[in-house]
Structure formats: structure tokens, C-alpha cells
Amino acid sequence: MKKKINVRLVGIAVIAVLATVIGITILYYNLFQRQVRADLSVSAKLLKDTLYFESVNIDTDDIDLSTDIEELRVTWVAEDGTVLYDNDASAEFLTNHNDRPEIQEAFTDGVGEAIRKSDTMNKNTFYYAIRLDNGTVLRVATDAQSLLSVFVSVAPVITLIILIIITVCVVISHLLTKQLLKPIEVMVSNLENSDYESPYKELDPLFEMLRSQHTDVLAAAKVRQDFTANVSHELKTPLTAISGYAELLEGGMVGEEKRNHFYQEIRKNADRLLALINDIIKLSELDRVEHGMVFEKIDLYEVAHECVNELSVSAKLKDVTIAIEGKESPVHGNKELIKELIENLIQNAVRYNNPGGKVLVSVNIIDNSTCLTVKDNGIGIPAVDQQRVFERFYRVDKSRSKATGGTGLGLAIVKHIVEIHDAKIELDSVPGVGTTISVLF
């Protein structure tokens, strides 16, 4: 980043210098041209006021301006374009000048000007012609450098100036870049310092964004680390149990009367292991396809009714009854995920209930929002645990969770699905009275 800033600052400086030099040179050359024309005008008027050109019958041999006026060519032209006198060449050898634009303009308007470029000499010749009282035209001319030759002549100086400026700019840009980036570097190093304030108000939004992202990254890293540790622990427990029971059976160390019990324990731990793996896969899928989910209009009541019918049999085995109430309630969502959400809520309500307990699933419209509510009269959740029950692998009663086959991931999956649907989840629970979980779409 520093290198890019330095290069761009130097580039800007070079462009600025070149643009300035070119602009000033063009401006100077325009002023120079104007001054040359003014000087030629003055020279022509001064020559007009002399006695040299008052009569066409004057002996031109008596006119000698070759030494009186240096670097100024004087040409006297008759009305028919014939050259009467030229201080730089013999008049008889010069062609008729009636086709010269400045001569024509002088005959017509009284004065005429022209600039002709010399490709071989790399110079411009400036002409100024004035009509005399006797009808003839007096023309003066001088050579001056062209714009290109001016550039060429000052090129070494310009190159030297650019090199000096580049050197100075490299030093200044290095110091300036260092000064500009230092507050940002200090700011980044203080992301975890809650008392630190950015040195410039303009950096406050950036600092807050970086601090928020840094906090989120740390939190995500901790969640991932905790999740990995919890997964390892949760998978290790049933695997250890299965391995232990299998080893005892393989070694013939179990009597005939206890083999059935060991088989049941192996199956129970295998089922628990499978449930864990399925929930982990589900969470992984939710993380991966969250932004590519297909949403459609579905009837929440119909999906809830389907879930109640499917889970009623397993609930009866635990002496828990499930009922549903409500009416048709359309929502925009993913049917598979919403079904997963409802099943997890009902399974939790059954799992943490008491024999003879009840679970009521209701779908209603509350304050223009479609609300799914799962209410039970089970063991309830203590107030201190209510904020953490949606964390992965968090259990209020670990012994009961394992005994009933809970993985500790059900409510985490529910929370994730709720977030995907931009919904809101509310929990109301009293230990010994029951739990009510509401999802507002």
C-alpha cells in the first residue's frame, strides 16, 4: 500500500510539472508572438515615417538598410506586386509578391500580417505589411524560433527540474505516506482496546467497522473452536461406550442374561451417534447454502399439521399428547427448513416433558405477523439458562438430554433457520410449569 501511494504521488507530481511546463511554454510563446508582431508594427511605422519610401521614383541604390537594422528584413513592393527594394536580396531577382497574403491584405485593409513556417530552418518568419501614402506596400519580417524549437531548447532544463522534483517528491511522499498510515496502523493495533479513540473523526466509521469485524472474527473463531471441541467430546462418548460393550461381548465376558442389555446399549449409543452426525451435517448445510436457499409461498399451518401427525406416535410412546390449533397462514420461506424447525421444537417439547404431559402447537396472526407457537407443560428452563439454550451443544439438564436422546443441537438449528428467514424467536419458560417458544415470521 505504501509503495502504491508513493508511486501515485510521484506520478501526480510528474504530471503536474509536465502540464505546468507545457502550459507556461505555450503561454510564453503566445506572448512572444504577440510581442514580435508589436515590434514589427512599430518598425514598419518608423520606416514609413522616414524619407526612404516617400516616392517610387527614388533611386533604390540610395536605400541601404542592411547594416542599420539587423535581423529585420525590409521589402518594398509596388502596386503591381513588383519588388522595388529588399535589404536582404537584389530586387530584380525576386518574384512578384502580389500573391503574398500579407501584401494582399495590406493593399486591401491598409495593414497585413502573416506567419510562415520554415521546415528546414525549424523557425517561423513573421511578416507585417503596411500600405504607404503613395499606394506602395512596405513589409518588414523577422525570424523567430518555432514552438517545437523552444521546447527542444529548454528540454535539458525541464528534464533537470523534473528529476529534482521527482527526488523531492519521493522523499516527501515517503514521509507523507508514513504520516498518513501511522494513525491507521496504531488504530489497527488497538482494535481490542475499548478505550482507544481514532485520531481523526473521518476514521471513526472505519475504526468501528474494523473493530466490529475483528470482534466478529474472534467470536466466530471461538465458536468454531468450541464447536470442534464439543463435537469431539459428544462423538467420543457414544463411540467409547460402543467400543467398550463390543469388546466385552467379543471377549465372552458377558453372561447370556446381560447380552440383550449390552446390545440395547450399543444400539442406543449408535442411534445417538447417528443423531449427532445428522444434526452436525444439517448445521453444516445451513452454513453453506444460506444465501442460495429457494423460498416460496407455503402454508405454515399445513406444514405444522403434517409435523404433528408424524410425531404423535413417538410422543404417545412417552405418554405425551400433541394437539394443534390455528388456521391457514401463508408465509414466504423454505418448506424443508420450516418443517425442520417445527419438528425440532416439538421434539424438544416432548423430550423435556413429564409423563402425561401435553404439547400445543398453534399458528395464528399476531400484529400482522404469522406466529408459530409450541407450548408444553414440561420441566421448564431456569432463567439463567434461557439466554444460552440456543447455543450449540448447550444443555440445561445434561443427564436428561442424553437419556432422552438429545444432541444439544436442536435449538441451535432452530435459531439458524429463524435467522435465514429473517424471523424472530421468543422464549418464555418457568421451571416446573412449562415452556413456550414463539417464532414470528
Give the pLDDT confidence score for residue 396 in this predicted structure: 63
Q: What whole-number percentage of the chain has pLDDT above 70?
A: 83
Q: What sign results for the dihedral spanned by CA atoms 198, 204, 208, 213?
A: negative
Task: Show the cell assigned to 4.
Answer: 502504491
pLDDT in tens, 192-212: 666 666 666 766 777 777 777
- For the ranges 234-248, 356-370, 403-417, the lowest mean pLDDT is seen at 403-417
Give the pLDDT confidence score for residue 150 in this predicted structure: 66
Residue 228 has pLDDT above 60, yes or no: yes
Residue 17 has pLDDT above 70, yes or no: yes
- Highest mean pLDDT, choosing among 185-189, 251-255, 283-287: 251-255
Question: What are the residue ranges spanned by the domains of the chain?
Answer: 2-150, 194-288, 297-440
Give the pLDDT confidence score for residue 164 in this predicted structure: 84
With cut-offs at 50, 70 and 90, classify the pLDDT of residue 89: confident
Evaluate whether 87 touches 140 at the Cβ level (below 8 Å): no
Helix (H) or strand (E) holding 363: strand 357-366
**C-alpha pair distances (Å), 429 with each of 93, 107, 394, 437, 439:** 121, 111, 17, 8, 15
Q: How is domain 2-150 classified at the CATH fold level? A: Beta-Lactamase (3.30.450)
How many other CB atoms are there within 10 angstroms of residue 181's CB atom? Answer: 13
Q: What sign results for the dihedral spanned by CA atoms 307, 313, 314, 320?
A: positive
Give the pLDDT confidence score for residue 67 in this predicted structure: 47
> CATH for 297-440, among 3.30.420.40, 3.50.50.60, 3.40.109.10, 3.30.565.10?
3.30.565.10
Q: What whole-number percentage of the chain has pLDDT above 90?
A: 18
Name the average pLDDT for the chain: 80
Over its C-alpha atoms, the chain yields an Rg (Å, rounded) of 50
With cut-offs at 50, 70 and 90, classify the pLDDT of residue 405: low
| 425 vs 8, more confident | 425
Residue 300 has pLDDT above 80, yes or no: yes
DSSP 313: H
**C-alpha pair distances (Å), 411 with each of 216, 396, 403:** 22, 12, 18
Q: 279, 358, 370: which is closest to 331 by C-alpha?
A: 370
- For the ranges 31-35, 65-69, 268-272, the lowest mean pLDDT is seen at 65-69
pLDDT in tens, 308-356: 999 998 899 889 999 999 988 889 988 888 998 999 899 889 988 989 9
Roughly what angle, to the nearest 10 degrees, separates helices 204-250 and 256-288? 160
CATH class of the domain comprising 194-288: mainly alpha
Helix (H) or strand (E) holding 248: helix 204-250
d(CA 435, CA 431): 8
